[in-house]
């Protein structure tokens, strides 16, 4: 039995298991079809919103670009976003019209362009009642990335909400805030937001620690 | 779903023998939870020049710290409704060339092992019903991935992927074969120690973690540039699966125990009442 209060808290806290790169073959484990493996009964994929989901249906697309300006062709992305009402649907259920979580990948086959089929999220409320501008949390895993990089995608047609977003405003560099704004385009008649992620150098995307 | 009501909920899961267990479990993703901050001196740095690919794929700017993470960071997906197949955690059976085969016919080549462990948080609290995924090379060190061109052959009966949910006490397990080491382009002659990639979600996207499990005693571990992205030998120890003779099965398989520790959830009842 340990004597209460006899040692500092830090000694009683376990260390987190250390992170390692997901490596070049991450798709085998987390995006089977992209590795050339048959899918199992249910897979976590890039479609967050099905036909019946309420809200504006959109695509999110982009590339991951390294410090040399080259497109990364072996990245895996995880998206996490609220529904059109600004609520997270935490219970992942492929039978539901919308899921807050999804996975996509940039590979040689899609020329390094990842894509999510989703809907435009609503503004998410903070505990104090303020609202964040609509956004999608993205995590990037790849060979050469030792611990996942975490960023947020915002929307360029939400100027007023973006200007008031407490998280965007927490980024000290006003210039760097712009690296989180996706640009609206139309592709095959469907609204689409482009968001290129620059890992290093000029226009380097803001990555968060939280 | 908001605040306190979301704190506990009921989930029904079908146990191993078909029994239905009712679990009441904490849902830490609410406004009263934070996570112990990540120790970036413990994890590998983004820029670790001995691992050459990290050089051009590492940010040069500092991470932007969110001192008050929001629901967007504190919440996370719950996979208890994801339908898992009966052999999703059994790599000896989940890629049989001919599914009609039975018994020992059509099993993969390699040392049969059990990989098991417990998912806990930094306070030692079990993390139940969380998604644990893994992938690995076959016994010859070859991945069943269209990009892997290593000269070791594919095994027709081995896919190399598994997943399961941890149980009510945080335990998970897989049955598989021990993967082989493989060469890779980094230094002129770099080899990966035998390893299994392990991915865990935990209760929040803040606890999301991908790591690799190495096998206790492998002489390639200290030579590996990816292992050596870590600066603290203790951190390497957290990634080492331990031979467990008590769980090994006589005339069947060895067992390796690999516990996963995810960030600790801290209740912050007083912080939002300013
Ligand atoms: Fe590997």
Q: In chain A, which residues have pLDDT < 70?
A: 1-2, 4-5, 7-11
What 3-state class would DSSP assign to B135? strand
For residue B16, pLDDT beyond 70? no
Which has the minimum average pLDDT: A9-23, B27-41, B203-217? B27-41
Q: DSSP readout, B171-223?
A: EEEEEEEPPPPEEESSSTTEEEPSEEEEEE-TTSGGG-EEEEEEETT-TTGGG
- Asked if B65 and B169 count as a contact pair (C-beta separation under 8 A), the reply is no
pLDDT band at B30 (very low <50, low <70, confident <90, very high): low
Note if B87 is an active site residue: no
Sign of the dihedral through C-alpha B223, B228, B233, B238: negative
Active site residue B182: yes
Size of interface A-B (CB pairs under 8 A): 264
- Nearest-CA neighbor of B214 among B235, B200, B245, B232? B235
With H, G, I as helix, E, B as strand and everything else as coil, classify residue B274: coil
Task: For residue A116, give how far its alpha carbon lies from the nearest alpha carbon of chain B (Å).
Answer: 17
Partners of residue B113 on adjacent β-strands: B176, B254
What residues contact residue B13 under an 8 Å CB cut-off, 6+ apart? B20, B21, B23, B80, B129, B165, B168
CA-nearest residue to B30 within chain A is A127
Q: Which of residues 150-189 of A touch B (CB under 8 A)?
A: 152, 167, 170-172, 176
pLDDT tens per residue across span A139-188 = 999 999 999 999 999 999 999 999 999 999 999 999 999 999 999 999 88
Min Cα separation A158/chain B (Å)? 18
Which residues of chain B does A37 touch, with a Cβ-Cβ cutoff of 8 Å?
144, 159, 161
pLDDT of residue A9: 63
Q: Model's pTM, two decimal places? A: 0.91
pLDDT in tens, B100-121: 777 778 899 999 999 999 999 9
Q: Is the pLDDT of residue B23 over 70?
A: no
Phi, psi of B207 (to 5 degrees): -100, 0
Confidence of residue B33 (pLDDT cuts 50, 70, 90): confident
The rounded distance, in Å, linking the Cα atoms of A155 and A120 is 9
Q: Which residues surround ligand 1, an ion (CB under 5 A)?
A: A 23
Taking the C-alpha atoms of residue B265 and residue A6, their distance in angstroms, rounded to an integer, is 23
Res. B201 pLDDT band, cuts 50 70 90:
very high
CA distance A188 to chain B (A): 30
Q: What is the mean pLDDT of residues B59-88?
A: 96
Cβ proximity of A205 and A180 under 8 Å: yes
């Amino acid at each position: 039995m340990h004597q209460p209060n006899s040692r500092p808290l830090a000694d009683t806290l376990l260390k987190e298991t250390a992170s390692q790169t997901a490596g070049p073959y991450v798709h085998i484990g987390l995006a089977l079809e992209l590795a050339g493996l048959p899918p199992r009964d249910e897979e976590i994929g890039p479609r967050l919103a099905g036909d019946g989901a309420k809200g504006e249906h959109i695509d999110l697309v982009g590339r991951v670009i390294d410090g040399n300006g080259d497109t990364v062709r072996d990245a895996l992305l995880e998206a996490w976003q609220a529904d059109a009402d600004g609520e997270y649907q935490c219970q992942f259920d492929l039978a539901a019209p919308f899921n807050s979580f999804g996975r996509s990948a940039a590979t040689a086959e899609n020329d390094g362009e990842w894509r999510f089929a989703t809907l435009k999220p609503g503004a998410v409320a903070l505990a104090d009642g303020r609202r964040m501008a609509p956004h999608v949390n993205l995590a990037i895993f790849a060979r050469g990335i030792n611990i996942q990089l975490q960023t947020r995608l915002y929307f360029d047609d939400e100027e007023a909400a973006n200007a008031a977003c407490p998280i965007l405003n927490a980024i000290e560099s006003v210039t760097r805030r712009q690296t989180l704004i996706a640009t609206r385009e139309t592709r095959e008649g469907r609204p689409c937001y482009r968001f290129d992620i620059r890992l290093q150098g000029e226009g380097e995307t803001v990555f968060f620690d939280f | 779903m908001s605040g306190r009501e979301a704190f506990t909920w009921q989930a029904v899961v079908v146990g191993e023998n078909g029994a239905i267990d009712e679990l009441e479990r904490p849902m830490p993703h609410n406004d009263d939870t934070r996570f112990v901050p990540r120790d970036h001196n413990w994890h590998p740095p983004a820029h670790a020049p001995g691992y050459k690919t990290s050089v051009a794929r590492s940010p040069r700017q500092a991470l932007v710290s969110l001192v008050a993470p929001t629901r967007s960071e504190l919440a996370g997906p719950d996979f208890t409704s994801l339908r898992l197949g009966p052999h999703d955690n059994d790599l000896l059976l989940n890629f049989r060339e001919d599914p009609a085969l039975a018994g020992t016919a059509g099993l993969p080549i390699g040392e049969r092992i059990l990989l098991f462990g417990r998912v806990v948080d930094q306070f030692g609290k079990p993390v139940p019903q969380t998604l644990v995924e893994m992938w690995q090379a076959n016994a010859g060190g070859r991945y069943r991935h269209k990009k892997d061109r290593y000269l070791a052959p594919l095994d027709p009966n081995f896919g190399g992927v598994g997943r399961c949910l941890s149980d009510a006490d945080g335990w998970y397990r897989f049955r598989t074969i021990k993967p082989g080491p493989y060469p890779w382009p980094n230094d002129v002659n770099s080899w990966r120690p035998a390893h299994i990639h392990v991915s865990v979600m935990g209760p929040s996207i803040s606890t999301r973690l991908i790591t690799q499990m190495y096998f206790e005693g492998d002489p390639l571990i200290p030579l590996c540039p990816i292992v050596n992205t870590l600066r603290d030998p203790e951190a390497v120890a957290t990634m080492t699966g331990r031979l467990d003779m008590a769980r090994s099965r006589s005339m069947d398989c060895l067992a390796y125990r690999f516990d996963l520790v995810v960030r600790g959830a801290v209740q912050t009842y007083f912080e939002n009442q300013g």
